Structure 1
């Protein structure tokens, strides 16, 4: 049985934000419902699994799962909150005498290796510009608008009759960028705020109100929002479409 496990559901700062005493951050410190590590998921198959993204909370996420190694990681883009765990992973590979496998578009690999030039000593970097098969899933990626932060990659994963997309960091998608999102059983979408009031040109991720317009167009069967900031309180009920669920740490979703 294939499952999707949410290891982290936070934005780049995580929740609680170290400088913040807002009600959501305080709740995250006290009871932890809103505690969010940086966004990452594990795709679990019958005999193989892989991560999507490896941020600064990778070690904590592995300890929570009581896992001692990650074999394969698929990366969406070379921003800190998505790749800062790679050096620790590489060290783990070194100490266990293993060679991890990192999958990403070639331009993302180039950016990662420029930041961490020694990673290739312990991790095999595999370009997936023309797609890849992992855990029985056929995976294709495409570039999506990441607003003021440039671009990220979204991934469409297909096995049999089931199709789903992981798109953690995107905003203001154009017609071409939306096309791989039609006909989905599941969309995992980053929505940092319920309603973000910052000037649009300064933003980089959909808010939930904007995402609702996207959902009306592409019509996925099920939607899970992730990459959420301290603006989002899981103790509240938001007026969301009935197909939408807000991700929490440890959420398991059966994919097939």
Structure 2
């Protein structure tokens, strides 16, 4: 069965925040449901699998599920919470005598190699500007608005008549960036806060209230929110509409029309 597994569901700082004593961080600190590694997912199925993003919690997420190696990783953008685990992955490749395969748009690869120039000793770098085929999934990426943090990439993945999208870091998407996310069987969308109070010019990710408005246009069959800050408490009932839910660590979602 094709499936998506959430390895991490947190925003750039993760949960708990080291400085914070709020109720969500306190619960997370005790190993509760709100404990969140930086956002990453594993795509698995009969044709193999791959990860999307490799943040600084990559090792902990891998150890938590007993996975000792990843051969293929697709990256959305070159911010630390999405690439901070690449040196550890490359080191694992070195010690295991295997070459991992890193996939990302050319400009993202350029930023990564400028920051970690030694990665190419143990990783093959593959640009996905014209699309990619991983584990049987046809993948198309495009640049999306990441607010004050610049840009990220979203991905649309299709296989055997099933289409899903992964867009963890975006806000206020213009029409041309929204179009590829329309009519999906599954949308994974980043929402850091339920209702963020910060000045809009300082923000970088949709909040839940904004995302729910966006879903009225995009009409995915199912939506899972990820990339959550300590503002989201999974013990609460937020009254989300049917077909919309929050991710938690280890959550498994089928990627197919059952």
TM-score of the two chains, using structure 2 as the length reference: 0.98
Contact kept? 2:47, 2:136, Cα under 8 Å: no
Q: Distance in 2 between matches of 1:90 and 1:184?
A: 34
Partner of 2:61: helix, strand, or coil? helix
Alignment of 1:102-141 (within 5 A): 102-141=102-141
Deviation, structure 1 residue 241: 2.0
Alignment of 1:184-223 (within 5 A): 184-223=184-223
Contact kept? 2:25, 2:34, Cα under 8 Å: yes
Alignment of 1:68-87 (within 5 A): 68-87=68-87
1:176-200 Cα distance to aligned partner (Å, 9 max, x none): 0001011200000000000000000
Alignment of 1:48-197 (within 5 A): 48-197=48-197
Q: Distance in 2 between matches of 1:222 and 1:40?
A: 19
1:26-55 Cα distance to aligned partner (Å, 9 max, x none): 011124110000000000011411000000
Q: Tell me the number of residue pairs that the alignment of Structure 1 and Structure 2 aligns.
A: 256
Partner of 2:143: helix, strand, or coil? strand
Q: Distance in 1 between matches of 2:8 and 2:236?
A: 20
Residue 27 (structure 2) aligns with: 27
Unpaired stretches in structure 2, ≥5 consecutive residues:
none
Q: Distance in 1 between matches of 2:218 and 2:65?
A: 34
Greater shift, 80-89 or 238-247, is seen at 238-247
Partner of 2:42: helix, strand, or coil? strand
* Superposition misfits of 4+ residues, deviation over 2 angstroms: none
Q: Distance in 1 between matches of 2:235 and 2:200?
A: 27
Q: Distance in 2 between matches of 1:67 and 1:222?
A: 28
Unpaired stretches in structure 1, ≥5 consecutive residues:
none
Q: Distance in 2 between matches of 1:123 and 1:18?
A: 32
Q: Distance in 1 between matches of 2:182 and 2:212?
A: 15
CA RMSD across the alignment? 0.7
Partner of 1:38: helix, strand, or coil? coil
Q: Distance in 2 between matches of 1:142 and 1:31?
A: 36
Partner of 1:118: helix, strand, or coil? helix
Partner of 2:68: helix, strand, or coil? coil
1:67-126 Cα distance to aligned partner (Å, 9 max, x none): 111100000000000000000000111111110000000000000000000001100010
Deviation, structure 1 residue 239: 2.7
Partner of 1:201: helix, strand, or coil? helix
Partner of 1:240: helix, strand, or coil? coil
Partner of 2:117: helix, strand, or coil? coil
Q: Distance in 2 between matches of 1:222 and 1:68?
A: 31
